[in-house]
Amino acid sequence: MAEDVAAADTVLFVDCSLDQAPGQVLLRELTAVPLKPGLVTHHLGAAELLRVAQDLYGAQPRRACLLTIGAGSIELGEELSPSIRAALPDAQALLELTVRQLLR
């Protein structure tokens, strides 16, 4: 994935977050952050992935954004929680708006 990120002009990551209220939708610009010692690549966040792209391929996107939805819980299940389900229209609208802005 780092190779794809390094080759991209712009990236938009979409993920869940345990650090925000369940169903809360946030969008933020990202910059590369230093890797923590002993960090396993399977557990990299988007900002760390930008650093790996820079370190391995000497490049990173001109712009990087992260859209997150507060998960509340990441327990296994077959359905989305009510708070996530309720947040999906807002997340979709923000995602569409962001993609349009990034493509300009």
- Mean pLDDT over each residue of the chain, to the nearest integer: 92
Q: Which amino acid is at 64?
A: A
pLDDT at residue 39 greater than cutoff 70? no
Secondary-structure breakdown of the chain: helix, strand, coil percentages, each rounded to the nearest 5? 40, 20, 40
Looking at residue 78, its pLDDT comes to: 87
- Residue from 14, 101, 11 nearest 54 by CA: 11
Arithmetic mean of pLDDT, 86-95 = 96
pLDDT tens digits for range 2-33: 999 999 999 999 999 999 999 999 999 999 99
Name the pLDDT band for 74 (thresholds 50, 70, 90): confident
Describe the strand order of the beta sheet including 25-29 as a list of residue ranges.
Answer: 10-17, 63-70, 25-29
User: Do the Cβ atoms of 25 and 88 come closer than 8 Å?
Assistant: no
Share above pLDDT 90 across residues of the chain, in percent, rounded to a whole number: 74
Tell me the C-alpha distance between 94 and 61, whole Å: 21
Looking at residue 23, its pLDDT comes to: 95
